[in-house]
Every structure is written in structure tokens, then in C-alpha cells.
Amino acid sequence: MPHLVPDPPLPPGPLATPRGQGTTASERYLAELAERTFLSMWSYPNLWRDQRAHGGKSGDGKELCDLLVVFDKHVLIFSDKHIQFKPHVDMAVAWRRWYKAAVMEAANQVFGAERWIRAFPSRIFLDPACTHRCPVPLPAPEELSIHRIIVARGVAAACRDYFGGGSGSLLVTPYVVGADHLLTDGVRQHDGAAPPGGPFMVGQVDPARGFVHVLDDTSLDLLMGTLNTVRDFVDYLEAKERFICSERLISATGEEDLLAFYLKRAGPSGRHDFVLPPDVDAIMITEGEWASFRVNPQRLAQIKADECSYAWDELIQRFAFHALNDTQYYATERGATHSEPALRLLAREPRTRRRVLSQAILGLVERTRQRQQRIEARMVEPSAVGDPHYVFVVLRRRSASGYAEYRDERRDVLHAYMEVYKSMRPSALDIVGIAFGTEESEEGGSEDLLWLDGRQWTDDDQRHAVALQRDTGFLSKTAFIAAVYDEYPDPKEPTTTVPFRAKGRDRNQLCSCGSGLKIKRCHGRPRHQDA
């Protein structure tokens, strides 16, 4: 079981793991957005490839791409170009010049980076001297899921002028393919008709080499500001690619309207998707989807409800900082590479789930303060198959206890709770434990993070955990707390958490919420378990 325990937070400073910051203002801005969305452990600006693979000298690095994100099987390759759109008497000429410099050049960089990643995944470094490898190992070539993303800036103002208003976002037109983007003057015919391309219209850049997402000045901020977890962002990219390649999208007036259409619908799995009515083969997404979505009361209620969820992001960033800086208080193995798998479990959570987890932690800390108990614990069960189980523990420090003694005790208590929990949930494969103190010490605040890999659980472990529960009483008395969490809350009906302690025959009574279901099938279904 890996143990990851960071020291109290340190002031900002250079990391032991060197990181690029971007060489231009545009690249630096992209790096800042990416770190907020994908977090520091998984986003790396200005990575380098070791040219020794092609006969170069040691330390002869060449830039791989402007930004690389590596998370699970997903690899996101970003190329950022800020090319100012230059007016011309012939708009077709101005568009072609901008498109070649901003989109086609960026596409070549992305495809080149992809070739290198597939061929030489171990020759990617953080520095031009090629001495520090990327701490997050890339997936095996057969498992790779590549997402190619171009950030083409400098076009928004010209786009607004051309259309007489709007957001400045480029039109999404899947039927414009490859060289058709340059055919805006009718010189070449397309299947006997006028060419389909036009200024400020972007479709499929080069489908023979792979699908490319083209973001502009407007859509970059909007996507990363709205889909600000790696799970939510990648889910959208995959759904968008499927939708466009299915030929069911005729056009969209901008990436923002495409995004709003996606966020307002869900597929059979319950996750967002581009869902069309059964009698509709293809659709045009028109202007106004995003404008209406962003002011919808339920969308505003969602933003408000999600405010607490960023505590989860901050928690991940604190653990990641110490892993990257090699300043962990205690770890089974040092370094970011060994810490990353456990942190990845936390970062897999989408925004709505982070809201649930943050509220569970904040509620536990508040309950500890009110009850003045020395130990309080809360378990959170998965919301979907394959997701981790969580064990949260708050432990008060004894007045006579030294800091090192307290940290050792807190880690041991957390470990014990996790073992007992595993003995009660035999099917749990990943159990993540996080322990907190109740107050700041002279050393500062701190948290402990442990990961129990249930795949390695043995019969001896089970017997030990059962004896541990008998000796400590951990989780011998629990209360199930169920909570309803809507992604888009009803602003007139704030989310509430209702405790249920019904046992035996009481659990077969109808639930008081009016659903018509029995308590054990409704709000009595265990979600949070307090001890």
C-alpha cells in the first residue's frame, strides 16, 4: 500500500521537478489555464524530445509541443499559435493566410508530436538538456487515446466584424474538410458545386491523420472555464469527436453553442452527450444555445453549488506540490512518479462528484468541532462501478503529543479505518484515505493520504482487519447518511442531507421523501457512512 503524506504547505517556489512556463505570453496563459483545469501533476508546458534517438548529441533537445497533458490513457497535445488576422481587400486571401499560419502550422506540430510520442515515449523530458524525464509515464502505444488540440488565436475581432457581432468564435462546420478550408473564392469546384468553405469556418483539418479540435480566443477560455476537470474536459472532447465523425452535425455557430447543446443533454449512461431526437438524422446548432444556458437559473445554481468543490482541487494541488518537490513528510517511495497513481484517483473525479466529496469533508470537520470528539470518521461510497471508496478521518492532537508522534498516530488511525472498511466491503478495489487535523499547529496545517489497493487483499489481511475492528471498535457503530446531489440544482429547492438510522423492518417502510420507494431503496441507501 503506497503511503503519501506531505509536509505542511510550503511557500511557492521552484520545484525539484523543473517545469516549463511557456515561451510567449500566449503560451504562458495556456499553461495557467491548463494547470487550473488539469492540475500540476498532469499538465506540462514546453516538453522536449531527446534527439539522440535520431543521432543527435546528448542534451540536444527539441521542443515537442506547447503543452502536454498525460492522464490515465489520455494524452492531450496542444499547439498554441497567436497569429493576428491581417485585413485584405479580398477576405478570402486574408482568411487563407491566417488559416495556413495559425491552423495548418499548428496541426503539423501536433501530428509531429504524436508521431514522436508513439515512437519514443521514453524520450520525453521537462528540460532542453533532457536530464529530467516527464514524471508521469505515458501509456503503452496500444492503450493511447490521443486528443489533438489547436489553439488558434488572433481571429476573434475579425470574426465579429465579418458577421456583424457574435462571440467571435469560429463556426464549426464538419463538411469543410482539409483543403476545402482554403477554397473560399470558387476557383475549384467541389463535386460539381461551389466549394463549401468560407471565412471563419473550421471543420475537419486533416481527417486522414486524425481528428483535430480547433479552439480560438473565445472557445479556449470558455471550455477550460466550464469543463475544468480532466474528466469533464476529456468526456466532451470524445463526445464531440464522435458526433462530428458520425456526420450528424451539419454546423454550429460556435464552440460555445456546441458546448451548451452537450451540457443540456445526457445519453443512456447518464453522462452528457450529443443526443438528437430519434426522428432527426442531422442538426444545425444555431446561435443562442450558450447565451440562454449561461443565464438559466439552474446553471447559476450549479455554479453556486460547485463553489465548495474547489477545496478538492486545492487538496490535490497540495499533495502534488510536495510530490513534485520531493518534500513529502512520509512516503513509501519518494518522487512524483510513485505518488501519481494515488493522486490520479482523486483527480479522476468530475466537478459534481468533487462537490459531494468536499461537502463530506467539510461536514465531517464541522461535526468534529461541534461534538468535541477526538476521532471522527466518514466513509463515502462510489457513485459508479470502478470509482474509489473514500475514508475521511479527523483526529485531534493530544496536548502532550509532539508533532512527529501525532503524525504517526494519525497515519496509523487512518490506516486502521481503511483496513476495517475493506473487511466490511470485500468488493472495494481502491480505497483512498485522507486524514485531517482540527487546528493549525506551529508547523502549519497538514493532511495524510493513503491508498489501499484491494486487489492485493489476502485472507490474512481479512482476519487481521476483523480483529482490529474488535479491538478498536472502529466502524462498529455507524449511521448511513444519504444525500441527493443534482448537477443542476433547483434554485428553489436547495440540496439537503437527510440522515437515516432506520434498521431492520423500519428500512422496509416507505421513504418520507414521497418517492414511493422503500427507505432502503431510496434515501436509506448508504451513500455516506459516519462512525
| CB atoms near residue 140 (< 10 Å) | 9
Edge-first strand order for the sheet with 249-252 is 201-204, 171-177, 249-252, 283-285
pLDDT at 333: 63
pLDDT at 245: 96
Residues ≥6 apart with Cβ < 8 Å to 189: 195
C-alpha cell at 140: 503503452
3-class DSSP state for residue 438? coil
Burial class (CB in 10 A: 0-12, 13-18, 19+), 278: exposed
pLDDT at 330: 65
What would the mean pLDDT of 170-192 be, rounded to a whole number? 74
Q: Confidence band (pLDDT; 50, 70, 90) for 459?
A: very high
Least confident piece of the model among 219-228, 277-286, 429-438, 486-495: 486-495
pLDDT at 506: 44
Q: Annotate 52-91 with DSSP letters as a single string.
A: GGGTPPTT-EEEEEEEEEEETTEEEEEEEEE-PPPP-SSH
What would the mean pLDDT of 89-111 be, rounded to a whole number? 96
> Which residues lie across from 267 on neighbouring strands?
none
pLDDT at 81: 95
Q: Is pLDDT above 90 for 170?
A: yes
Q: Is pLDDT above 70 for 190?
A: no
Q: Annotate 7-47 with DSSP letters as a single string.
A: -SPPPS---SS-----SSHHHHHHHHHHHHHH-TTTEEEEE
pLDDT at 428: 96
Q: Confidence band (pLDDT; 50, 70, 90) for 57?
A: low
Q: Is pLDDT above 70 for 471?
A: yes
Least confident piece of the model among 153-162, 298-307, 368-377: 368-377
pLDDT at 417: 97
Q: Confidence band (pLDDT; 50, 70, 90) for 485?
A: confident
Q: How far is residue 343's CA from residue 353's CA, in Å, rounded to a whole number?
A: 16
Q: Which residue has the higher pLDDT, 80 or 369?
A: 80
Q: Dihedral of CA 462/525/267/487: which sign?
A: negative
Q: Confidence band (pLDDT; 50, 70, 90) for 271?
A: very high
Q: Confidence band (pLDDT; 50, 70, 90) for 529?
A: low
The amino acid present at 306, given as its one-letter code, is D
Average model confidence (pLDDT) across the chain: 85
Q: How far is residue 117's CA from residue 75's CA, in Å, rounded to a whole number?
A: 9
pTM: 0.87
For the segment 311-363, what is each residue's pLDDT rounded down to a tens digit?
999 999 999 988 888 777 666 666 677 889 999 999 999 999 999 999 999 98
pLDDT at 400: 84
What would the mean pLDDT of 79-94 be, rounded to a whole number? 94
Which of 350, 358, 360, 344 shows the shortest CA–CA distance to 314? 358
Q: Confidence band (pLDDT; 50, 70, 90) for 22?
A: confident
Least confident piece of the model among 258-267, 407-416, 427-436, 487-496: 487-496
Q: Confidence band (pLDDT; 50, 70, 90) for 21?
A: confident
Packing angle, helices 217-226 and 25-38, rounded to 10: 20
Burial class (CB in 10 A: 0-12, 13-18, 19+), 7: middle
